[in-house]
Structure 1
């Protein structure tokens, strides 16, 4: 039986139309590669965006005859419990003891599902984040970075977040020539304590806070500043989108899979 390839990009979703638009535009740009001509790509969301949820995407692609489905999780970290829950709902084993609550997605008996990987410490993303903070940096050798991400308190997932963030921080420190690079998560509540410790240790070093979020919104505009109230730091709140590095990251995974080089198979 002949096979037909299809790609389902999954991101979290938001009530903000601009957030959804940023994701959709990035997915459209990634799917425009000549190597992906004829491969249908659907941008879906974990929650909130009615009519564009994951099952809607599966149904739409299968209606086009797709039998080989590549699921690309557009999430910051493999430590996200959402990524593992999505995998479970597609029939993949859970990574740790946390059991997802998404149920089971319906797929045709002829459909094979392949899972891609989230962003983690991709080199292009390190350069993207450095470009975001370029306006805040005067003398990198006298400045420190504090990467702040959502994080997780769940056993195992916290370690995945820490591993990816630590590697990303090291990349940024090396590429940018910064004095130091530290990481902190909002869950558990670490940002304020880590920043205070950095300033006690090296009071002369300016600290640039780097949000590790896909798009600006509640966490970048409100939660991070609130957690750092009363402390001195440099911050512009810029997130990963919009930036062509996200499009390139997606495109690389999509093309690698169509060539038979990527993804976990169901």
Structure 2
């Protein structure tokens, strides 16, 4: 559910409005979830006009974000989508921003209370030049070290512990396999820390039949590790929070901090790096120009 704060404006009066603005799209959730995102974004506001639009490519929050940047004198906007999968809402976002003429076949609108009616709104109103990020966090090199940090923070004796890396997943088998491949790649850093084993799983949360099978596998893994005398460390492969995993793992023995990729300074760095990369790709930053990427 999208919290009451649908759009957060993070703008420092000292920021240079002639530089490309930054619009960060994030899923949106509880007030705590949203605040976690805002804290990650806050260090970026000093050197660029910055807004956050919560919602899954929500026309209302995106329009507010564009209007805010335009009111600050911004003419060029880098849109960084803070999603695990770069394919998430990509077509819908491109259509809304006027980057492609055809709307997606299935257009889901999200209103203040969560999921709303289906329909196809008109593209958003703006006179801005926009470039959109194409990659999700599953492709970001910063993610592996964050996950390794999470596992280490939970660990007491790696040789007697196993790690369960758990993600949302998708309905489509091909796309879900892409999640698994990305998770396995990031898991290599965790495996190098000496844990007994590292297991990656997607819960496929929104599809009951697929979820039931995933829950069976996940619970069987944790139970087997417990019976072998090993402690399972659960590391969520999510932007923030623990999702429904506490319910899925109810009655089992495991250890978890129940936090996702945020908070972590490396994710702030990823956003700044995407802003710079896309600004240079669009020709909006000259070679050698300072970028003030956040640490």
TM-score > 0.5 by shorter chain: yes
Return the alpha-carbon distance in structure 2 between the equivalents of residues 88 and 170 of structure 1: 37
Return the alpha-carbon distance in structure 1 between the equivalents of residues 123 and 188 of structure 2: 38
Return the alpha-carbon distance in structure 2 between the equivalents of residues 56 and 18 of structure 1: 22
Structure 1 residue aligned with 2:218:
194
How far is 1:67 from its partner?
A: 3.3
Q: 1:161 to 1:90 in 2, by over 3 A?
A: farther
Return the alpha-carbon distance in structure 2 between the equivalents of residues 139 and 4 of structure 1: 49
Q: How does 1:202-217 map to 2 (within 5 A)?
A: 203-216=228-241
Structure 1 residue aligned with 2:81:
73
Structure 1 residue ranges without an equivalent (≥5): none
Q: 1:171 to 1:87 in 2, by over 3 A?
A: farther
Return the alpha-carbon distance in structure 2 between the equivalents of residues 167 and 60 of structure 1: 38
Residue-pair matches, total:
245
> Residues 63-104 of structure 1: CA distance to partner in whole angstroms, max 9, x if unpaired?
33433321101122335x33553344335579xx86333545
Report whether the alignment pairs 1:11 with 2:26: yes
Cα RMSD of the aligned pairs, angstroms, is 3.3
How far is 1:57 from its partner?
A: 0.6
Return the alpha-carbon distance in structure 1 between the equivalents of residues 252 and 169 of structure 2: 21
Structure 1 residue aligned with 2:13:
none
Q: 1:87 to 1:185 in 2, by over 3 A?
A: farther
Structure 2 residue aligned with 1:90:
97
> Residues 7-28 of structure 1: CA distance to partner in whole angstroms, max 9, x if unpaired?
11010112x3232222112112
Report whether the alignment pairs 1:225 with 2:246: yes
What is the DSSP-based 3-state SS (H/G/I as helix, E as strand, rest coil) of the residue aligned with 2:142? Answer: helix
Give me the TM-score of the superposition, normalised by structure 1. Answer: 0.77
Q: 1:230 to 1:192 in 2, by over 3 A?
A: farther
Report whether the alignment pairs 1:184 with 2:201: yes
The answer (yes or no) to whether the contact 2:79–2:130 under 8 Å persists in 1 is no
* Corresponding residue to 2:171 among 146, 153, 159: 153
The answer (yes or no) to whether the contact 1:12–1:46 under 8 Å persists in 2 is yes
The answer (yes or no) to whether the contact 2:83–2:239 under 8 Å persists in 1 is yes
What is the DSSP-based 3-state SS (H/G/I as helix, E as strand, rest coil) of the residue aligned with 2:200? Answer: strand
More relative contact order in 1 or in 2 (CA 8 Å, sep 6+)?
A: 1
The answer (yes or no) to whether the contact 2:25–2:57 under 8 Å persists in 1 is no
Give me the TM-score of the superposition, normalised by structure 2. Answer: 0.70
The answer (yes or no) to whether the contact 2:222–2:252 under 8 Å persists in 1 is no
Q: How does 1:37-56 map to 2 (within 5 A)?
A: 37=47, 39-46=48-55, 53-56=61-64
Structure 2 residue ranges without an equivalent (≥5): 1-17, 110-120, 205-209, 284-295
The answer (yes or no) to whether the contact 2:165–2:237 under 8 Å persists in 1 is yes
Return the alpha-carbon distance in structure 2 between the equivalents of residues 242 and 115 of structure 1: 21
What is the DSSP-based 3-state SS (H/G/I as helix, E as strand, rest coil) of the residue aligned with 1:259? Answer: helix
